[in-house]
Amino acid sequence: MIEIQNISKSFDGKQVLFEISGIFEKGKCNLIIGTSGTGKSVLLKCMVALLPPDVGNVLYDNRDFTHGDKQLQTDVRREIGMLFQGGALFDSKSVEENVMFPLDILTEMPSDEKLDRVNFCLERVGLENINKKMPSEISGGMKKRVGIARAMVNNPNYLFCDEPNSGLDPQTAIRIDSLIKEITDEYKITTVVVTHDMNSVLEIGDHILYIFEGRKLWEGDNKHIMESGVKELDDFVFANRMMRMVKDRSA
Amino acid sequence: MRSLGKYLIFIYNLFVRRETFRTYVKLSFDEAIKVGYDSLFIVLIVSVFLGAVTTIQTAYNLISPLIPDPVISLVVRDMTILELSPTIIAIVYAGKVGSNIAGELGTMRITEQIDALEVMGINAISYLVLPKIIASVLMFPLLVILSGFCAIYSGFLTSLVTGVISGEDYLTGIQLDFNEFGVVFAMIKALVYGYLVATISAYKGFYTSGGALEVGQSSTNAVTSSCIAILVADYSLAYMLAPFLTPS
Ligand SMILES: Nc1ncnc2c1ncn2[C@@H]1O[C@H](COP(=O)(O)OP(=O)(O)OP(=O)(O)O)[C@@H](O)[C@H]1O
Ligand SMILES: [Mg+2]
């Protein structure tokens, strides 16, 4: 479980996040949704302390991560798997080395076991036979998926994904969503996913935080998102035609 | 002043929360090969020309019946060892290796690769930068030694080809009044320059923010700042160590 308390963040006097609180439970897919530029990525980075929040705390299973000492931060981080919005693969390493990297650094596994684990993860994201390719030789969507494989390879307790399925075709996107859901259920981890894809919201949104211009406007699950009564959220949810049709039908 | 403070914190962070010793040995080894291999060609070319040009120009400056010919190669030798090989090569090295380090780290920063390392609980500064510094401090003195040999040998070839002095006089001259401390001095300079180029360039690259444009700027800044640091260090070292050069 991850708890965030009163997170505020500003850059050069421009406030981006306003007192956001929330609880992300274990074994659930927790979604942070919102339009582009509302501060979702910044919130995620504050949660893993890549950006220090101006005020507020982040607790990982009651460990005060934001104000803990360096050792505690390192310990918590070694339990984190994270997918960045752009993939953030190491360009000087091959796909296989990228995925293996967390195992190399954080574990004492023998190398054949590591290789098995890497292949297993790559298979789960639907990528086989590209082990030796360099990141510059694969497509954007493939980079994302390698990023997911790298995030899950070391069995993290906390999984963060920044837009795991943007830039993917609908089929692969659904496949990635269900993968995230599966590993969350299977290993009972705490998963936090940033997305603006309504499909994912409906598919995997066990718990949803809606952020609008740096403020949390709504919190709930995918069963209730259509009847939130929050205007901004309705605009977001029913932005596309398909969703509007669904709404008209049910009315 | 602010950036000097930030630089010092950066250096401090190199040595805390490190990975295993074995990791560093492997990384440093890889970096050392890269650094050496990358700059070998340019260092050789520059050294050959330094030796040749210095020989010819010194010869023309010292045309006088009062000065025996071997003095020419003595001057070439001392200039090469004390100043040309360490300092000029350091400037070349800053242009080649320094810009490379800053560009690489800058790109890693803007594509969030450094963030990815940090999230894994790795001290990105020491993981990425320490091996580069170790590699630079090890390899640059070797490059300077190589450069010294090349330059002096190239001076010899030049004297044979152009006949500004005879080969025999050249060989006599480079053995005349040899002060071993000159070599020690050159190595001290080389260590300091190797360290300065690596740390300054890494610092500039590591704190890049923005996009591809800023990566280019960091690279250029890395070279400029390294060159200034090299020249300041050169002056300071000359001031401190030159007294040891005079024969006691
Ligand atoms: N390092 C930074 N320095 C200054 N401002 C920043 C920085 N990072 C983000 N911002 C600002 O914070 C705001 C939120 O950015 P953020 O990246 O969190 O958006 P987002 O919700 O993730 O959008 P998207 O869905 O497009 O990824 C933006 O207005 C951006 O300009
Ligand atoms: Mg974002």
Q: Give A38 Cα–ligand 1 centroid separation in angstroms.
A: 7
Tell me, what's the pLDDT at A76? 92
CA distance A123 to A148: 11
Q: Is the dihedral of CA B12, B17, B19, B20 positive or negative?
A: positive
Residue B131 in this model has a pLDDT that exceeds 70? yes
Task: Yes or no: say if B97 and B39 are a contact pair by the CB < 8 Å rule.
Answer: yes
Tell me, what's the pLDDT at B68? 86
Same domain for A162 and A72? yes
CA distance A97 to chain B (A): 14
User: In A, residues 139-158, which contact B (CB 8 Å cutoff)?
Assistant: none
Q: Does A86 fall in a domain? A: no
Q: Does A185 fall in a domain? A: yes
Q: What is the pLDDT of residues A189-242, one digit of tens each?
A: 999 999 988 888 988 999 999 999 999 999 999 888 888 888 888 888 888 888
Q: Give B218 Cα–ligand 1 centroid separation in angstroms.
A: 23
Mean pLDDT of B198-215: 95
Same domain for A60 and A113? no
Q: How confident is the model at residue B247 (pLDDT cuts 50, 70, 90)?
A: low
Mean pLDDT of B207-223: 95
Secondary structure letter of residue A126 according to DSSP? T
Q: Give A170 Cα–ligand 2 centroid separation in angstroms.
A: 20
- CA nearest ligand 1 atom 30, residue: A37
Asked whether the beta carbons of residue A105 and residue B113 sit closer than 8 angstroms, the reply is no
Residue A51 in this model has a pLDDT that exceeds 60? yes
List all residues whose CB is within 6 A of at least one atom of ligand 1: A 11, 16, 34, 36-42, 85, 196
Is pLDDT larger for residue A250 or for residue B117?
B117
Q: Does A88 fall in a domain? A: no
Q: What is the pLDDT of residues B108-124, one digit of tens each?
A: 999 999 999 999 989 89
Same domain for A75 and A194? yes
Mean pLDDT of B74-78: 91
Residue of chain B with shortest Cα separation from A160: B119
CA distance A245 to chain B (A): 39
Q: Which of A41, A84, A163 has most ligand 1 atoms within 8 Å of CB, for mutation?
A: A41
Residues of B in Cβ contact (< 8 Å) with A78 = 120-121
Tell me, what's the pLDDT at A19? 94
Same domain for A147 and A166? no
If 0-12 CB within 10 Å is exposed, 13-18 middle and 19+ buried, where does residue A23 land? middle
Tell me, what's the pLDDT at B21? 84
What average pLDDT does the structure give for chain A? 91
CA distance B112 to chain A (A): 5
Q: Nearest CB to A48: which of B16, B119, B122?
A: B119
What average pLDDT does the structure give for chain B? 91
Same domain for A114 and A206? no
Q: Tokens 């969703």 label which residue?
A: A243
Residue A140 in this model has a pLDDT that exceeds 90? no
Same domain for A243 and A173? yes
Mean pLDDT of A15-24: 94
Same domain for A230 and A179? yes
Provide the whole-model pTM.
0.91
Q: Does A84 fall in a domain? A: no
Tell me, what's the pLDDT at A10? 95
Is A80's Cβ below 8 Å from some Cβ in B?
A: yes
Same domain for A240 and A165? yes
Q: Does A203 fall in a domain? A: yes
Same domain for A225 and A129? no
Q: Which of A7, A8, A10, A11 has most ligand 1 atoms within 8 Å of CB, for mutation?
A: A11
Is A70's Cβ below 8 Å from some Cβ in B?
A: yes
User: Looking at the 3D structure of chain A, how many domains does it have?
Assistant: 2
Asked whether the beta carbons of residue A91 and residue B113 sit closer than 8 angstroms, the reply is yes
Tell me, what's the pLDDT at B20? 80
Q: How confident is the model at residue A165 (pLDDT cuts 50, 70, 90)?
A: confident
Same domain for A68 and A141? no
Q: Does A87 fall in a domain? A: no
Q: How confident is the model at residue A243 (pLDDT cuts 50, 70, 90)?
A: confident
> In the structure encoding, which two tokens stand for residue A16, read together?
């981006």
Q: End of a domain among A129, A155, A181? A: A155
Burial track A176-208 (b if 16+ CB lie within 10 A, e otherwise) = bbebbbebbeeeebbbbbbbbbbebbbbbbbbb
Q: Does A85 fall in a domain? A: no
* Numbered residues of chain B with Cβ closer than 8 Å to any chain A Cβ: 16-17, 19, 23, 107-108, 111-113, 115-116, 118-122
Same domain for A26 and A51? yes
Q: What is the pLDDT of residues A66-80, one digit of tens each?
A: 888 888 988 999 999
Q: What is the CA radius of gyration of chain A?
A: 18
* Percentage, residues of chain A above pLDDT 70: 100
Look up the CATH number of the domain holding residue A18. 3.40.50.300
- Measured in residues, chain A has a length of 251
Q: For A146-150, A201-205, B44-48, B60-64, which range has the lowest pLDDT when averaged over its residues?
A: B60-64
Is A178's Cβ below 8 Å from some Cβ in B?
A: no
Q: Does A99 fall in a domain? A: yes
* Percentage, residues of chain B above pLDDT 90: 70
Tell me, what's the pLDDT at A163? 92
Mean pLDDT of A95-100: 96
Q: End of a domain among A155, A172, A196? A: A155
Find the ligand nearest to A197 CA: 1
Q: End of a domain among A155, A172, A201? A: A155
Which domain does A102 fall in, by range?
93-155
* Percentage, residues of chain A above pLDDT 90: 68
Same domain for A70 and A176? yes
Q: Give B164 Cα–ligand 1 centroid separation in angstroms.
A: 67
One-letter amino acid for residue A94 of the chain: S
Phi/psi at B125 (5° precision): -60, -55
